[in-house]
Amino acid sequence: LNSKLPTVGTTIFSVMSKLAQQHNAINLSQGFPDYATNPKLINFVADAMKDGYNQYAPMQGLQILRELVAEKMDKMYGAYYHPETEVTITAGGTQAIFTALAAVINPGDEVIIFEPAYDCYSPTVKLLGGLVKPFELHAPDYSIDWEMVKKLFTANTRMIILNSPHNPSGSILSKADIQALIKLTKNTDILIISDEVYEHIIFDGEKHESVALYPELQERSFIVASYGKLLHTTGWKLGYCLAPAKLMAEFRKIHQFNVFSVNTPMQLGVANYLKSENIYDSLSSFFQQKRDLFRSLLSETKFKLLPCKGSYFQCVSYSNFSDEKDIDMAKRLVTDFGVAGIPVSAFYTKGTDDKILRFCFAKEQDTLEKAVERLLKV
Binding site for ligand GLN (CB under 6 A): 11, 13, 30-31, 167
Task: Give the chain's largest Cα–Cα span.
Answer: 59
Of 60, 99, 167, 267, which lies in the binding site for ligand PMP, with binding defined by CB under 6 A? 167
310 binds, among ligand GLN, ligand PMP, none (CB under 5 to 8 A by kind): none
List binders of ligand PMP among 116-155 (CB under 6 A): 118
CB of 114 to ligand GLN, least distance (A): 15
In the bound state with ligand GLN, the residue whose beta carbon lies nearer, of 167 and 194, is 167
Using alpha carbons, list the distances in angstroms from residue 19 to 15, 68, 97, 167: 6, 40, 27, 21
Q: How far apart are CA 119 and CA 105, in angstroms?
A: 18
List binders of ligand PMP among 180-209 (CB under 6 A): 195, 197
44 binds, among ligand GLN, ligand PMP, none (CB under 5 to 8 A by kind): none
Residue 327 neighbours by CB distance under 10 Å = 19
In the bound state with ligand PMP, the residue whose beta carbon lies nearer, of 157 and 163, is 163
Q: First and final CA of the chain: distance in angstroms?
A: 45
CB of 296 to ligand GLN, least distance (A): 23
239 binds, among ligand PMP, ligand GLN, none (CB under 5 to 8 A by kind): ligand PMP
Contact 218, 247 (CB under 8 A): no
What are the two backbone dihedrals, phi and then psi, of residue 55, each rounded to the nearest 5 degrees?
-110, 175
CB of 228 to ligand GLN, least distance (A): 8
In the bound state with ligand PMP, the residue whose beta carbon lies nearer, of 92 and 170, is 92
The alpha helices in 8-120, defined as continuous H runs, are 12-22, 39-50, 63-77, 92-104
Q: How far apart are CA 268 and CA 65, in angstroms?
A: 7
9 backbone φψ class: left, alpha, beta (φ>0; ψ -120 to 50):
beta
In the bound state with ligand PMP, the residue whose beta carbon lies nearer, of 171 and 338, is 171
Q: How far apart are CA 136 and CA 146, in angstroms?
A: 12
Q: Does 60 bind ligand PMP (CB under 6 A)?
A: no
Task: State which amino acid sits at residue 209.
Answer: E
Stretch that binds ligand PMP, among 37-45, 89-97, 213-221, 273-281 (CB under 6 A): 89-97
CB of 195 to ligand PMP, least distance (A): 5
User: Taken in order 208, 211, 213, 214, is the CA torsion positive or negative?
Assistant: positive
Q: Which residue is nearest to ligand PMP (CB)?
A: 92
Q: How far apart are CA 251 and CA 255, in angstroms?
A: 6
CB of 185 to ligand PMP, least distance (A): 21
93 binds, among ligand GLN, ligand PMP, none (CB under 5 to 8 A by kind): ligand PMP
Strands 131-136 and 110-115: parallel
Task: State which amino acid sits at residue 121.
Answer: Y
In the bound state with ligand PMP, the residue whose beta carbon lies nearer, of 32 and 294, is 32
Q: How far apart are CA 153 and CA 119, in angstroms?
A: 22
In the bound state with ligand GLN, the residue whose beta carbon lies nearer, of 30 and 185, is 30
Closest CA to 177 of 190, 160, 189: 160
Residues in contact with ligand PMP, counted by CB under 6 A, come to a total of 14
Q: How big is the CA angle at 59 (ends 58 and 63), to the nearest 5 degrees?
A: 45
163 binds, among ligand PMP, ligand GLN, none (CB under 5 to 8 A by kind): ligand PMP
Stretch that binds ligand PMP, among 59-67, 233-241, 262-270, 362-370 (CB under 6 A): 233-241
Which residues would be at the binding site for ligand PMP (CB under 6 A)? 31, 92-94, 118, 163, 167, 195, 197, 226, 228, 234, 237, 239
